[in-house]
Structure formats: C-alpha cells, structure tokens
Amino acid sequence: MGTILEVQDLYVKIGEKEILKGVNLSLPAGEVHAIMGKNGSGKSTLSNVILGHPGYTITSGDILFKGESILHLPPDERARKGIFLSFQYPTAIPGVTVFNFLRTILRSYVGKEISVKDLRLQLKQEMETLGIDPSFANRYLNDGFSGGEKKRNEILQMSILKPTLAILDETDSGLDIDALKIVCEGINRNRRPDSSILLITHYQRMLNYVVPDKVHVFIDGKIAMSGGKELALELEQKGYDWVAK
Amino acid sequence: MTIYPKHLDYTEIWKQKNYSEPTFVFQLREKSLQTLNTLPFPNKDQESWRKVSLSNFQPLTYLSQDFSKLEILPEINLKSYLDLSETEKQKYEEILLHAQNKLKENYFAQLAFAFHSKLYFLCLDESYSYKNLLLEVRCKDLTNLPIFVVYVKRFSKINLVLRYLLEETQEISFFNSLEIVVQEDSSQLELVSIEDFGNSVFHFRNFLLTQAQDTHSLVSHFNLGGYRGKTFLHCDLNGKGSKTEILGASSVSGREQQDIELTVFHSQGYTESNLLFHTVATDKAHHIFTGILQIPKTSSHVQANQINKNLMLKKTARTESMPKLEVFADDVKCCHGATIGEVDEEQMFYLLTRGIPEKEARNLIVDGFLSEILDRISPEDLREEIRKKLLNKLHV
C-alpha cells in the first residue's frame, strides 16, 4: 500500500526554542516503528506536531500522510483522515462520560449516528479484551483515572476507531507488567497490513510485546540512528549517550 | 433613571393594601414593614449589593399593583394559613418568626414578609417518604411575592422540585420570593430549585434552610434567565451530624446580570457542607458568585468544602467569584477553590485529535462542565430539560 507517514526535514519550534531540528522518517504500511530517546529529545513534540497541535510552529519541512501533505489541515481533519494519537498524559474532561465520548468520536469518524445498542455491544467486547470493567463507560473521561486506566482507555479508542496511523506516545509509562501485556496485546490486535504504528517509548520492555520493524533513536531533536529491533536491546545495555558519541 | 433616597417609606402603600387577615399574619407583615422602613435601600455601599445595579428598579410602582394571580400546580399538600390546624399553626408561626428574625437585615426578605401575595405551607407527614413532589409556580402578574414554608418532619425523606416560571413580557416584571425550609431530626431532603425567568424579570429570592441533628440535604439551584437580580441561599447546620450538599449551575448570555450569594453557617460542630457551583458566561453577560462560610469558635469537627468554577466563552463576558471564609474554630477541615477561565486548550486538542470538529468539541466541553452538576440531580427528565435550557442560552 506504500508509505503511510513521511516526515521530511522537519523543523519545529515552540516560542523561540527550536525543538525538532530536521526530522526525516518514513513509515511504510503494515510496519511498526519505535522511536526511543531521552526525556526532552523531542519525541512527544513530533507526535503532537503530526496531529497539528496549535502550540508549535513548523519553520520548515513537511509531513505527508499517504502521500499528501497534511500541514494545512486542522487536527480534527487529520484525525478523520485516520491519524490517531494515544497521549502520554490524556487530559481529563469532567462531565463527559466515556460512553458519550466514544459515541461522539465514532459519529465524527463514521459520519453517522451509532445506535446506543450497537455501541454497547462493541464496547463490551473491546473492554473485555482490555480487562476494563463495564462500569468504566459511565465514568467521566480520564477524570480520576489511574495511569493504567488512562492508557487502557486510549487503546480502547484506538481499537474502536481502527486508525490507519496510530502514534502511541509512551503508552507503557505508568503500567505494571500485567497491564502492559494486556495493553500490548490490544496494540498487536490493531496491526494490519494497511495501517502503521509509531511507538514512542523510553524503554525496551514494551518492545518485547510489540515487536517493531524498525527502531529510531531520537537525540536533540532529530533521528540520530535507525536500525532493526536489536537496536533497542543495544540501547538498553549501552544507554543513549553511546549513540550521541 | 430614578435615584432613590437611602430609605424608602412603604407605610402609605402598605395601608392602601388594607390587609384583612388573621392577627398573626397581619402582625408578621406589620413587623416587617417597620423593619423595612428602617433598612437602607440596597445600594453599592452595601457589600451584598456592590455589583447589582438597581437604579432602574422601582419597588413602589410594582407594589402599587394588584398581584394575586399566582398559579401553583399541583396544590397537593399545600395549605394556606387558615387551613392549618392549631398544632400546625403553632409550629409554622414559630418557623416564620424565626426566619423573620434571622433575615431581619435582608431587604427583600423583609419586603416579602410585609407584602407577600400569599403564605403557602407544604404539609408533610412524619416518617414518610415523598418522591417526585413538584411545585410549579406560574407567575401571571407583573409583581409576584410568594412565601413558601416547607417543614420536613422527623425521619421523613422528601424529593421536591420547586420551579418558578415567569415568561418574558413587554414590561419589566418583578419577582421576589422567600422559601423557608426546616428539617427536623434525621430527615432527608433533595430539593431542586429552578428559576425559569424571561429576560424581562427583576428577580430576588431568599431561600433559608435550617437543619437539625442527623439531617441530610442536597439542594441544587439553577437559574435559567432573568433581567437582573440576586438570589440568597442561606443554610444553617443547626444540629450535630447534619450535612448539606449545595449544587448550582448558571449560564448567562446577552447583557444579563446574575448574582448569587450562598451562606453556610455551621452553628453546630460535627457538621459537614459541600458546595459546588458552575457558571458559564458568554456575550456581555456578568455573573457574580459569593460563597460565605461561617464557622463560629464553638463549632468543632466541621468539614466544609467550597468550589466555584467559571467558564467564559467570550472575552467580553465577566464572571466574579468571591469566597468569604469566616472560620473561628480550630478543629475544622475547610477547603475552597475558585477558577475562572476560558475553554481549556489541551481539552480542545484532545477532542480535536479524535476527529470532533471544533464547534462540537467546544460544545462538548461546555456540556460536560454543566453535566458535572446536572448529573447529580436525580430526576433524569428534568436534568435533560435544564441542560437544554442552559445550553440554548449559550447558543450551544
């Protein structure tokens, strides 16, 4: 199906501070790529910029989704094209229940109203596989959720929306080993030949469960090294400073 | 514009009314008339009236009219003074006199006592559970001054909706109500109070709740409109083990100005209050919230929480939040918080990344903001009706 995401020589700043300094990345259909790197190296900035966060300024470069530039599109249009971001810190929206939220986002995605009955049925199955209690649907979105609940909720949305490109920003943080396994199984179920996953993480442990096709190392706002899945193991042993040298 | 003197004299207009009533009611009026004549007309020098402009409000003009066409649906359990038994009279007179004294410095409470169109008593049995009681008060006159007394007896459980309806008229109308609610030991009350006023209504309200030992109340207040006015909610936790939750939501738009002042008085120790009030403002509207918490030195082991959140949809709108904590006791747990802000950018971005268009995302956040309050009231159909009205005002 070709390339899903192409980031071309991307420079981004927030205020006067330059964060991304020439990122190049190509993510073919059906592949999972992992981006690893230290805190503050620009990994989350890249994910936010792909979705069009208004707080960042792109000074040069381009982002192509299925061969077309998306820089001119607002975040909601990018999402409706099939780009999904699982947030590192999903924001709480008190007063909006998970069920109503899911119904609203499905309506936006599909373009038509989903019946309560159909959604309940679909949710029941997805929640069971992710080990989520059914009462979860009646809680306010991310409000008072534990770290693990927030991450499961993100993967629940991904499972329902079935995006073409899923960017998972440190989905493993805040998860215990059991929860990590369940969440990773959820991610693996979403691997399809016509879609891709960009997985951002600090640690190799997640990559034991979601095995990437490629690993990229982010240092100081750009990709400093790329390799196969074995690169993650090497990083675990040698640290990031080794790449910088 | 009428500039009023510091005091208004209501004696002449009161005499013209030629009240012919049982001695107790007459004396109740007369006493408040005397109080009223000594009270300064609300003005910006007074703390409670600093923000409300009453320069174009002319009470004497409104009071000179006939105002008796108040329709209450249904009238089940409602009695007039003359319908009360001797035992009931004794109790209700005690309640009224206590309220009259407690609110002696409140101008509009005294105005209601002196000129009320009618006294209504909601008579309920002891140890009985009343579900879905609805009192819908349809105001037909330009001037409306009802007083309601609700006496919740021991071990009773009451679920009551009190809704005031006053449609928009060509002339500016005047509404001034007083509700006195007394809870006896171990009773429970859930009260939903709705002010459904048109944009041409000067509206003033006093709601006085007194709770005895081991009582529990959940009072929710919704203002759905009006031209200008002020609502005072007073809650006196007057028995150990009493607990109140007070909720409220307002949405203001156009050039509307609404003002609510909420006072919780922990007159006894081992009491608890939780207050949560949300306001959404748009256009050039102005909303003022004052939360007064009073804990005297003698009230220990008190828990009190007060949160007021304000969401502004346009920069031209104004909301003000004034928490006033008068805590003199040592062994208490109190917290208060107030926020005023626009729609959160991170919340917006989160919803946008899920494909929700900007306008719908903004509406969802506003809906959620109001739902935090609405979801806690039990009549579901009413919840949806209030939600629609609050959102409609915001063009959402």
Measured CA distances, A18 to A24, A75, A216, A220, B370 (Å): 16, 22, 20, 10, 39
B350 to chain A: which residues are within 8 Å by CB?
87, 90-91, 93
pLDDT of residue A188: 94
The domain in which residue A217 lies consists of 3-244
Distance from CA of B133 to the nearest CA of A (A): 27
How far apart are the C-alpha atoms of A147 and A89, rounded to whole Å?
8
The residue with greater pLDDT, A235 or A62, is A62
Which residues of B are less than 8 Å from A141 in CB distance?
368
User: In the numeric block, which tokens belong to residue A95?
Assistant: 């007063």
Q: Tell me, what amino acid is at B270?
A: Y
Query: Do the Cβ atoms of A108 and B347 come within 8 Å?
Result: no
Chain A residues touching B375 at Cβ < 8 A = 95
ipTM score here?
0.96
Q: What is the mean predicted confidence (pLDDT) over B48-54?
A: 88
User: Which CATH number does the domain housing residue A110 bear?
Assistant: 3.40.50.300
Computed over every residue of chain B, the mean pLDDT equals 93
pLDDT band at A243 (very low <50, low <70, confident <90, very high): confident
Amino acid letter, B276: L
Both tokens of A225, joined, read: 């090294």
CA distance A47 to chain B (A): 11
Better pLDDT: B72 or B360: B360
Q: How confident is the model at residue B167 (pLDDT cuts 50, 70, 90)?
A: confident
Count of beta carbons in the 10 Å neighbourhood of residue B75: 11
Contact B349 A95 (CB under 8 A): no
Which pLDDT tens digit goes with each residue over A21-40? 999 999 999 999 999 998 88
Tokens of A190: 């979403």
Cis before B146? omega within 30: no
Number of structural domains found in chain A: 1
φ, ψ dihedrals at B57, nearest 5°: -100, 125
Q: For residue range A92-144, list pLDDT tens digits in order.
A: 999 999 999 999 999 998 787 888 998 999 899 999 999 899 899 999 999 99
Average pLDDT over residues B206-210: 98
Query: What is the four-CA torsion angle of A172, A177, A183, A187, rounded to 10 degrees?
Result: 70
Looking at beta carbons, which residues of chain A come within 8 Å of B339?
Answer: none
Which band of pLDDT confidence, cut at 50, 70 and 90, is reported for residue A242?
confident
Kindly tell me the sign of the dihedral angle through the C-alpha atoms of B269, B272, B276, B277. negative
Q: Find, in chain B, the residue whose alpha carbon is nearest to that of A50.
A: B353
- Provide, rounded to the nearest whole percent, the portion of chain B with pLDDT above 90: 78
Given pLDDT bands bounded at 50, 70 and 90, which one contains residue B339?
very high
Q: What average pLDDT score do residues A155-172 get?
A: 94
Residues 309..368 of B with a Cβ closer than 8 Å to A: which?
A: 344-347, 349-358, 360-361, 364-365, 367-368
> How far away is chain A from the Cα of B189, in angstroms, using its nearest Cα?
24
Q: What is the mean pLDDT of residues B317-335?
A: 94
Own/partner long-range contacts of A237-243 (Cβ < 8 Å, ≥24 apart): A240/A36, A240/A37, A240/A38, A243/A217, A243/A219
Average of per-residue pLDDT across B67-79: 77
Binary contact (B354, A91; C-beta < 8 A)? no
Structure tokens at B207: 């709601």
Interface test mutation site (partner B, options A76, A84, A156, A167, max chain B beta carbons within 10 A):
A76
Q: What percent of chain B has pLDDT over 70?
A: 98
Q: With 80 as the cut, is the pLDDT of residue A198 above it?
A: yes
- Least reliable range by pLDDT among A5-14, B54-63, B150-159, B204-213: B54-63
Q: What are phi and psi of A216, to 5 degrees?
A: -115, 140
Segment B226-261, tens digit of pLDDT: 888 899 999 999 999 999 999 999 999 998 889 999
Q: How many residues does chain B have?
A: 396
Proportion of chain A above pLDDT 90, given as a percent: 78
Nearest to A105 by CA among A158, A148, A61, A26: A158
Question: How far is it, in rounded angstroms, from Cα A62 to Cα B124?
Answer: 72
Where does chain A show beta strands of DSSP type E? 3-14, 17-28, 32-37, 57-65, 68-69, 83-86, 93-97, 140-141, 165-169, 196-201, 214-219, 222-227
Mean pLDDT, chain A, integer: 93
| pLDDT for the residue numbered A93 | 97
* Of the candidate ranges A149-158, B123-132, B296-305, the one whose mean pLDDT is the lowest: B123-132
CB contact under 8 A, B358 and A76: yes
Q: What is the pLDDT of residue B141?
A: 83
Q: How is residue A135 annotated by DSSP? A: G
Give the CA count within 13 Å in the CB-facing half-sphere of A110: 14
What does the pLDDT look like over B281-305, one tens digit per residue? 999 999 999 999 999 999 999 999 9
Beta bridge partners of B290: B261, B322
Cα dihedral value A182, A185, A190, A191, nearest 10: 150
Does residue B67 have a pLDDT over 90?
no
Instruction: Point out the residue among B350, B361, B367 whose CB comes nearest to the CB of A87.
Output: B350
Least Cα separation, residue B376 to chain A (angstroms)? 10
- Predicted confidence at residue A245, as pLDDT, reads 67
